A and B are shown apart, each in its own frame.
Chain A
């Protein structure tokens, strides 16, 4: 790896590829992390939102007088006097009338939608006052089922005339009648919540005459842009700090209405204000993910050649279309997954419903694609009576086919799909597993075994750039400034490794700085697993530029030509090639320099990268209770070159857990009136350590040509492969009972009911 990274004339053993412990953890485990909730803010006021308890209705009057009279209350606003225009729809993609008012105006469209905001001296005064706000809401019928939303006459936005936010149709649909084998199935990709440990929290006030904001966001600059655009002020007029954040998972990638309002209130009142949501607000008022109804049609020969695939999707956007309405577009791009299928077509429609809005959640659109195609391939394999591993192998593109253009036009940069499939089959002892499965089937065991295979490819990075700055300080230490926001992803460790490696300085000599929009000129959102590949590459590039500047400086000091100098990364010193005794170290260069040497980078990645892998899940299903136990997860993941295998494994571990969670446990549910039924963590069964096995995990490394590190993204892959593998394993366990498909989450009750229906 050091060869790929190195410049000519540089020698050393690289720290890259080593499992370096996270530098962030010492602070965090000592409770010294700096989260928005514990930023000391003298005299900060507290914000409490009053939320709709009706899923759909027209607002008559809202009584706030009692609240205003409560002790400690500073202000109460409704849509009428908040003074903010509605938030326009995303990039103008959707009907403009679907704009979202910051506080519900005239109509409420989901339980949890803010209808008023109370500002008070203390959190408790704000909460008490909020309870006295009374809204006269005339109920309207809720819009819940997606087909109802599509065809029904009950509209969320009567001015639009329908509930459709976005759609993609195929001109003349393909005729499937000519194929030997055609299989179809309806699949629900359930709605889930991101459940970051730290819910939404934001504070804002005037510091040194500047509007300043502390945010828990996946991107300091994105947050600033969203807020300043919506408040109609200049970017420079707002300083945003993003320090430690307790998880984002995509949901903190969009700046929410509440957060914008908090900054607005700070301006309006000229006071410092802070808002921390409760878990129930988080589960009902913050965005959800997935929420797709799919129909797959797969066709091929009876000997295992898949020839055509069609995916129809209905996407639930929730009450206001934002990024969620666009999710099926990512699903479309990745619809055919790892397979080389001649003919693929995808249609989708995104509809609004009277539920919490849907946005990005770990994987955003790709897990949905993977789940659909992997279920389809399993169904097809079952139909033709071929082993699912064999069907997969037969339809993978050869490694010589890369860059590979899939049937929806997406270009996969590099891949070794058969290699990861084989590695996973071998690591799991697939043949042995099938034998044990057969034994239990023959014995009519009430603990049936299921084996699920998922070979996935996903899209990460999406091209684009990131700010990187690496400078040599007067004391010989190195400051690395990044535009990228860490979200529990270990940037401080990985960036320091990359910089230390390029410069040949110890890790301890590198300080990584991020998350202050005054100090960092620009930055992009941490999302789409882009950080290492793009921001990491930009760090490396900035470090290389610093090496060039330092080489010039050292050449001056050594009275030699820069081209004759080499950097000995083992010693952290420049010397003339062949004469190591006369050298200048980083510290010497620093002390001689008139001003800090600064390497700058705006590294641009030309396109997306496509990590891939194979996950095999082994489950045991108790056919009496329907209870599933995940016995094994074998995961072989390839995200190109791995900079820090420990951190990359951490990403995979979390992703695998979230995948198992969607497959078996988690689902956001509403009752027939549109009331949330999963509004706390007793009712929303977020996964715990008790439900996951010890993972059997490994990496293969197929570099991408698109960045100098050779790295692809690993942040989302875990959840993409495991979800489909676990679902498939459960269905496989139930195959002897004639069950060919079951939707997630595969709860004991759902499995038991299916077994009952099958007459088992």
Chain B
């Protein structure tokens, strides 16, 4: 067996240098995805760069109207302090992830890098039009979430590159995250949906999870509902508008049948979630 190297990076530069030195090295954050792969024999360790001691990747900060979320931000951290008030949908999503142990270890960067259709932060990031800050020994670049995730567990990360942070806007308006799973905790999403309202931008943005290879934005549904809301009063859209919104969301979904659910159920359920999220965001609306 070949020897493997393990680098405990202390700074982002350390980590980038180690990646440059060991092409093909695996980044290890919370390990909650990676170690599952190792245990299943799907991932073979060569060289490992460990990220959880890199202080720069931890926590979050506010830069003007933007929140910069460190790649090492854990689910537990997303759900406490001031962050839930600033990015409610992310906090709601984080609370549905795994168990307390998983939420203490699992990170945002790991969820984004895994790029699974069932990754629970991805619909939120899609709805928020998040951008991803990438770094390598060669320099930095920034991609929109839609550019970053390219397929089922595929993304634009180049060899030698890591995710440094995720940027999301602070929006004026309610946010919702809803998820359907096979039980109420410790489950992989059968479908998930994030809905954010941007009052100043006068739009409603929706991210769908587990219904397509990449997190989906139902553009027609968004355009439709933005036009049905009286943005000056903020009053709820009428029942017909809500129904059409739900139908457009369901129609945008491109799910598959798998052992967790059928495509038909997923399309239906995501429509129901869309309607319920909208009604929560605009209470008083007719169902």
- Report A's interface with B, CB cutoff 8 A: 71, 131, 624-627, 665, 669, 671, 677-678, 681-683, 685, 687-691, 747-749, 752-753
Q: Contact check, A625 vs B180: say whether CB atoms are below 8 A apart.
A: yes
B262 within 8 A of A: yes
Question: Bound state CA distance, A691 and B185, in angstroms?
Answer: 9
Among B47-55, B84-92, B157-165, B265-273, the one that faces the other chain is: B265-273
Question: Bound state CA distance, A241 and B186, in angstroms?
Answer: 35
The chain A residue with its CB closest to the CB of B259 is A677
Q: CB-CB < 8 A to B268: which residues of A?
A: 752
12 pairs of residues in contact across A and B, judged by CB atoms under 8 Å: A627-B180, A665-B182, A677-B259, A682-B187, A683-B259, A683-B260, A685-B183, A688-B186, A690-B185, A752-B268, A753-B264, A753-B265
Residue of A627, A665, A677, A752 contacting most chain B CB atoms (<10 Å): A752
A39 to chain B, nearest CB (A): 24
Question: Bound state CA distance, A87 and B188, in angstroms?
Answer: 40
B200 within 8 A of A: no
Which of these, A71, A624, A665, A749, contacts B183 with CB under 8 Å?
A665
Q: How many contacts between A and B, using CB within 8 angstroms?
A: 46
Q: Given A131-B41, A625-B272, A683-B259, A691 and B265 touching (CB < 8 A)?
A: no
Residue of A131, A627, A689, A749 contacting most chain B CB atoms (<10 Å): A749
Q: CB-CB < 8 A to B265: which residues of A?
A: 626, 748-749, 752-753
- Interface extent on B, as a size class? 10 to 19
Question: Bound state CA distance, A317 and B193, in angstroms?
Answer: 42
Q: Given A131-B41, A625-B269, A752-B268, A690 and B261 touching (CB < 8 A)?
A: no
Q: Contact check, A688 vs B185: say whether CB atoms are below 8 A apart.
A: yes
Q: Given A625-B272, A682-B188, A749-B265, A690 and B183 touching (CB < 8 A)?
A: yes
Q: Given A624-B272, A625-B272, A688 and B261 touching (CB < 8 A)?
A: no
B148-196, CB < 8 A from A? 180, 182-188
Q: CB-CB < 8 A to A689: which residues of B?
A: 185
Question: Bound state CA distance, A687 and B261, in angstroms?
Answer: 18
Indicate with 1 or 0, residue by residue over B192-206, a CB within 8 angstroms of chain A CB atoms: 000000000000000
Question: Bound state CA distance, A685 and B1, in angstroms?
Answer: 38
A632 to chain B, nearest CB (A): 17
Question: Bound state CA distance, A688 and B41, in angstroms?
Answer: 28
Q: Contact check, A749 vs B261: say whether CB atoms are below 8 A apart.
A: yes
The chain B residue with its CB closest to the CB of A686 is B183
The chain B residue with its CB closest to the CB of A624 is B272
A197 to chain B, nearest CB (A): 14
Which 10 A-B residue pairs are closest in the complex by CB-CB distance? A690-B184, A685-B182, A677-B259, A690-B185, A685-B183, A749-B265, A624-B272, A688-B185, A625-B272, A749-B261
Question: Bound state CA distance, A691 and B269, in angstroms?
Answer: 20
Question: Bound state CA distance, A627 and B187, in angstroms?
Answer: 15
Which of these, A71, A671, A747, contacts B182 with CB under 8 Å?
A747
Question: Bound state CA distance, A688 and B187, in angstroms?
Answer: 11
The chain A residue with its CB closest to the CB of B260 is A683
Q: Contact check, B183 vs A688: say whether CB atoms are below 8 A apart.
A: yes
Q: Contact check, B182 vs A691: say whether CB atoms are below 8 A apart.
A: no
Q: CB-CB < 8 A to A752: which residues of B?
A: 265, 268-269
Q: Given A131-B41, A752-B268, A753-B265, A687 and B187 touching (CB < 8 A)?
A: no
B41-89, CB < 8 A from A? 41
B276 to chain A, nearest CB (A): 8
Question: Bound state CA distance, A753 and B257, in angstroms?
Answer: 14
Q: Contact check, B262 vs A749: say whether CB atoms are below 8 A apart.
A: yes
Q: Contact check, A681 vs B186: say whether CB atoms are below 8 A apart.
A: yes
B185 to chain A, nearest CB (A): 4
Q: CB-CB < 8 A to B269: which residues of A?
A: 625, 748, 752
The chain B residue with its CB closest to the CB of A661 is B183
Q: Given A625-B269, A625-B272, A752-B265, A688 and B184 touching (CB < 8 A)?
A: yes
The chain A residue with its CB closest to the CB of B182 is A685
Question: Bound state CA distance, A707 and B191, in angstroms?
Answer: 55
The chain B residue with its CB closest to the CB of A669 is B259
B248-286, CB < 8 A from A? 259-262, 264-265, 268-269, 272
Q: CB-CB < 8 A to A627: which residues of B?
A: 180
Question: Bound state CA distance, A332 and B260, in angstroms?
Answer: 35
B233 to chain A, nearest CB (A): 28
Q: CB-CB < 8 A to B187: which residues of A?
A: 682, 685
A746 to chain B, nearest CB (A): 12
Q: CB-CB < 8 A to A753: which residues of B?
A: 264-265
